[in-house]
Structure 1
């Protein structure tokens, strides 16, 4: 049964319990996007890999999720929404267990890929099922609960990940998913069977899917290993870049001519949608760069534990949860372009504020811009959905929502790689400049007068140069991110003002 009256098939009590389970499943998937960020130094140290290699744990999950999101509609139509949701949750639990059991970089990256592939459909599926089990008058409240889990996930991820890594073991940031996944699977089997959707044999764009995996895979591997191979002076990196470029061009041509494309690129013909999603990709990528850099800097150079670096990172999402109800109230009453542009400009100003951090900054100095930044997040995310989906006809809403989520997830993966590359290169340049500007004789005399040996003096100077070089490179990353955010605040004005009510039910 797939009509709008499906909500009558569940009792009010069952409906409420099912709604909580669906919100919990979404929370778990969003949490896993950031829970590993603060734990990368722990995982890298335990597996005997560099911090740069450790970031593959973040990017592999995001890339796999991005690739799988466009498949969600086909999977739901082919197997049914409830059945797809249950199997995706089983797969997510299994690969979470494999992540926790990993003993090598290859094993954990493979497991994170599996986790991302299974996690991709869970977000949109949970939203679709919420709309099916609640009557129209209760849907805004259900969507509000769902949106809160989407905002709370990134807030809790760094704190939960940091606490578990410091007090237990990094393996448990993945094992903790197992009981939640099991609860969601059994609850879905028990309560959601009556609202299963009809199935149909719809053709899948196999060539488009293969091309998508090919060019994204080449691009991401190039970005992840490029900094270790001196970029385009290495034939491997050059080959990957060429293959990614060719694959991307062929993918675009194929998708524009295919009757049932895996990614419907035709929606880009709507300027409102195009400007909105480019704003989203740029702003979300620049915002996520701080979530990647700050925990690693605080743990590697500033002496913070994973827990406290997670708390600093999470202040943004805490403020976002507080301001979300106000953003929802203004949406539909104020031109969404004003809200989006103002919010993204605010994010840029906060990022510019952080570009003046020093190695001597205290906890309050770190937390304040993070917290103030958070108030703008809902004013950016909520009206952006109104703008993008309001720019396409209803028949293309589902395709537009899927493409929007795909680009947002890809922005996270690509921004992570680019930011860590820029951070690493800037550290090397800053280190060389500081070493050249130092007056080693004066410093050695001063330290020698304090009773230090020659070896201790050399190590002290080296540590000081390294600490300052890392702080300068962090500021450089924030400065570039601020410029990207200011550009995104302008791009959104290319969109015409949306007219009429917008159906945001397909957004995810």
Structure 2
């Protein structure tokens, strides 16, 4: 291979614009699919005859499978080449999307989502790498800002688009939409980039490490998703899954630290910047994604919103996020990334604290306001923490560092969704018990309320009790959700010190390193 082929010159003019658009479209499609199902979960659950909790697995299994496949990206890139891997992943993603759309049952849908998440693994890292290689090094910060816009636009457009398609057509269309988009992106990327592919070489793959990774991630995810249905540790299944996850994780750590060609380079955690940046971005993303799933679910189940309305209420998240991303690209090279990251976490905390005061007859405007403001920390979130994680890394270790931090973020996103659902359910049950403690025939206020249902609404005794219980459940769910948001605000503040154990990073050096490494 010639040096020119290994390091092709940047694109220019219309080719650069079309190339960036096509690569960005494929990356956007992947990010979109991690959130487009959020507002459709109640509809999918109803159509397939399962509970909403089981329907949430559609989101968590995608995140788990995606996180497991991400560490393979480096090996696959060197085995197949960047462009072949990217285009192949897009085509497989399109196929998996079609399988999701035609799935007649939950098990088939979950299988298709696992496949979809697995083949999507290389798409985000590769879209970032191809964008960086397309732009001149002097404009690498602009390329990273463009990538950040793609990352934040998915969770914004996803719920709105998903809600509109679910209400207007069928939930299957939230997956079918990937087919024309993916085919167009694959065709354009192959046309523009096939002569710029990276050289290939045969490398050993860490099969044992990969199998251990799959075992402990799958066991932990299934344990979190099935825990509520099986009454947690009173179930032998949950106990076995917990043991398998713990032992699998321990063996995985030992193996990866001793193998010559580990699938995940855990020695990166010895570096302060990587440790602080990766742990903080993973926890923050778990909170962000977990609460992003709960909000439309609550709006549909308890406030009577349609899928489209719930999507529209979460869409304003993108206004400041998209506006702020290119501004961030210009500010970051001249700023301390730790200060910007701290501002992001404080802003997240303020938004979650505002949501902890939601109430059952809240107006849509009061729901939209914190969502709109959340776009500000979204714009301040990814780029500074990525800069911290990659700063100080030698070029040859940047792909491993980027891959491992992405794995941590995606894995915690799936885990955060499961934990947020569990906490909301447990707090709802607790509040329901507290609210019904005085609901007995010996309480005159309770009797007066039941009599009011009978006299004003003409309901019988059984229907009056049912209406009372529904009212109490709605209030309990609201109080439980408030608790989740309050806890999210506290955690966002608590993890700020993780940013400050790092050394100040330089955005230019880290993005140049990323560009060179990719």
Cα deviation code 1:96-144 (max 9, x no counterpart): 0000000111100110011111111011112222233333345444443
- Find the counterpart in structure 2 of residue 463 from structure 1: 470
Structure 1 pair 124–12 and aligned structure 2 pair: CA distance change class (3 A): same
In structure 1, what is the equivalent of residue 510 of structure 2? Answer: 503
Aligned to 1:373: 374
CA distance in 2, matches of 1:195, 1:76: 13
Return the offset for 1:392: 3.0
Q: Aligned ranges for residues 367-406 of structure 1 at < 5 Å? A: 367-406=368-407
Give the match's secondary structure for 1:331.
helix
Task: Please say if residues 227 and 238 of structure 2, whose CA atoms lie closer than 8 Å, have aligned partners that are also in contact.
Answer: yes
Aligned to 2:103: 102
> How much has 1:460 moved relative to structure 2?
1.7
Q: What residue in structure 2 maps to residue 443 of structure 1?
A: 449
**What residue in structure 2 maps to residue 93 of structure 1?**
94
SS in structure 1 opposite 2:50? Answer: coil
2:486 equivalent to 1:485: no
Per the normalisation by structure 1, the TM-score is 0.96
Check conservation: 2:393, 2:510, Cα contact below 8 A. no
Distance 1:369 1:243 in 2: 40
Q: Match of 2:228, SS? A: helix
**How far 1:4 moved relative to its partner?**
5.8
The 1:479–1:213 alpha-carbon spacing in structure 2 relative to 1, beyond 3 Å, is same
Distance 1:141 1:99 in 2: 35
The yes-or-no answer on 1:251 pairing with 2:252 is yes
> Residue by residue, what CA displacement relative to the aligned partner does 1:185-209 show, whole Å, maximum 9, x if unpaired?
2223322211011110011111110
- Structure 2, unaligned runs of 5 or more: 440-444
Moved more, 181-190 or 208-217: 181-190
User: Secondary structure in 2 aligned to 1:19?
Assistant: helix
Aligned-pair distance for 1:272?
1.7
CA contact (8 A) 1:231 1:237 kept: yes
In structure 2, the residue matched to 1:312 is 313
| 2:289 is the counterpart of 1:282 | no
Q: Which moved more, 1:130-139 or 1:105-114?
A: 130-139
**2:442 corresponds to:** none
Q: CA deviation at 1:463?
A: 1.4
Question: Is 1:330 the counterpart of 2:336 in the alignment?
Answer: no
Would you say 1:120 and 2:126 are equivalent positions?
no
Distance 1:413 1:28 in 2: 18
SS in 2 for 1:344: helix
Aligned to 1:302: 303
Query: Secondary structure of 1:343's match?
Result: helix
Task: Please give the residue correspondences for 1:220-231 in structure 2 after superposition, counting only pairs within 5 Å.
Answer: 220-231=221-232
Is residue 482 of structure 2 the alignment partner of residue 475 of structure 1?
A: yes
Equivalents in 1 of 2:266, 2:238: separation in Å? Answer: 28
Distance 2:260 2:173 in 1: 45
The 3-state SS of whatever aligns with 1:228 is coil
CA distance in 2 between counterparts of 1:392 and 1:269 reads 12
Cα RMSD of the aligned pairs, angstroms, is 1.9
| 8 Å CA contact 1:29, 1:122 repeated in 2 | yes
CA separation of 1:293/1:2 partners in 2, compared to 1, >3 Å: closer, same or farther? farther
2:289 and 2:413 in contact (8 A); partners too: yes
Instruction: Give the drift of 1:275.
Output: 1.0
15-24 or 47-56, which deviates more: 15-24
Helix, strand or coil at the partner of 1:91: helix
Q: Indicate if the aligned counterparts of 2:42 and 2:52 stay in contact, CA closer than 8 A.
A: yes
SS at 1:497 equivalent: coil
Once the two structures are superposed, residues 252-290 of structure 1 have per-residue CA deviations (whole angstroms, 9 ceiling, x without a partner) of: 011011111100000100112101111111111111122
CA contact (8 A) 2:27 2:124 kept: yes
1:134 alignment counterpart: 135
Matched, 1:411 2:412: yes
Say if 1:2 and 1:197, in contact at 8 Å, map to a contact too.
no
Residues 291-346 of structure 1: CA deviation (Å, up to 9, x unaligned): 11001000001011111111222222222112223322221322211111121012
* CA–CA separation in structure 2 for the residues paired with 1:487 and 1:213: 31
On the 8 A contact 1:273/1:391 being kept in 2, the answer is no
My pick for the range that moved more, 277-286 or 2-11, is: 2-11
The question of 1:183 aligning with 2:188 is answered no
Deviation larger for 372-381 or 290-299: 372-381
Which residue of structure 1 aligns with residue 459 of structure 2? 452
SS of the aligned residue for 1:469 comes to: helix
Cα 1:223/1:173, change in 2 over 3 Å = same
Q: Is the 8 A contact 2:387 2:507 kept in 1?
A: no
